[in-house]
A = this chain, B = another copy of it.
């Protein structure tokens, strides 16, 4: 999904990265239907706010929703379910492979989500296709168009963004939710319901797509552990494979989200240039099982990132604001990408390839998804760079330059990671 690719080589890179990027725009009162995938997911909340549910098997239902909209208003209308945290702009949510999740926009402006799905992740034992298993709805139209437009992006590199609710198109193939493939009688028996209701689960005549508008606003209040729930837990056996088997300890109480937008949390901050913030398994431990991490970058106008390479990960760069120039260089010194990019576009920097980003006149902001839970970067310029780590005589002999020039190469840029615009003008003729 390179913007304006120069050769088809770039698409190979993207394919090689083994990931998919999907953007959802959920309008007010919109519900992104519950689904799970064969891959872990990272979700960046680009805009808006909402609530988000992730259902982990065996975790207790410790949240309750009020029943104020129920028709009878009785006590029985109270409902218990798993926790439903608020999410808001600038947060990253991590979802392990196979966990069903849903999002609901309870704000006033659109909720925009950018999802990374890592099909090459060791957690995926299926093939390299990304597969979405919807638990409800009738995803035939949207899911298909979503996948095909994703593939178009991948193989033709044409579009840089996908808005789910803009892509309702003609599609012949039948795609259904997972209940659609089960026998009605078996569903009725499994849920101990009548066949009319079992038929409803298949949503066969549902034309709403994968994001539906809630008839009434969803009400969720703060959590409390009910006595009934506590008592129920006693019944379960604690044996292996049962309810208390490690998954629960790991996931039921695990934090799934982290704010990556807060300037106070930046790992590198340069008042003249911008900032860089990382969420990895050290500050969001669930990422250890997901084996992904995220970097958030903000460059002020004309500032730049140190040229660098990703040592142990691919980097999938989604531009969230502004414009800039990205160059990516391969192992033969070939430039595999060189272009102006802007908000909503995606560029992949494969592992080991050298990358540089330079902000345009409006500044430049992005989120980079990385295919390692503790992704490492090696910088080429600046105070913690590879060049700085080489003896001056190695630099001089390598480049056939004088020791004075070698010292300039090593020492002229004292900043780390985030570089201010060259003090001496565009050409930097100060040395």
Contacts and interface: CB of A to CB of B under 8 A. Distances in A.
A123 B304 CA distance: 29
A22 interface: no
Given A330-B181, A391-B79, A398-B136, A416 B194 contact: no
A58 B384 contact: yes
Contacts of A149: none
Interface in A380-431: 380-401, 403, 405, 407-410, 412-413, 416, 419, 421-424, 426-431
Of the candidates A58, A178, A242, A332, the one having the most CB atoms from chain B within 10 angstroms of its own CB is A332
A335 B81 contact: no
Contacts of A272: none
| Copies of this protein in the complex | 3
Q: Main SS of the interface on chain A?
A: loop
A37 B267 contact: no
Contacts of A276: 241
Nearest to A191: B381
Interface residues of A, number: 182
B176 A332 contact: yes
Contacts of A45: none
Given A197-B408, A408-B193, A216 B393 contact: yes
A315 to B, nearest CB: 11
A312 B330 CA distance: 33
10 closest A-B pairs (Cβ-Cβ)? A241-B278, A176-B333, A98-B311, A181-B329, A136-B398, A180-B333, A55-B389, A131-B331, A82-B389, A192-B412
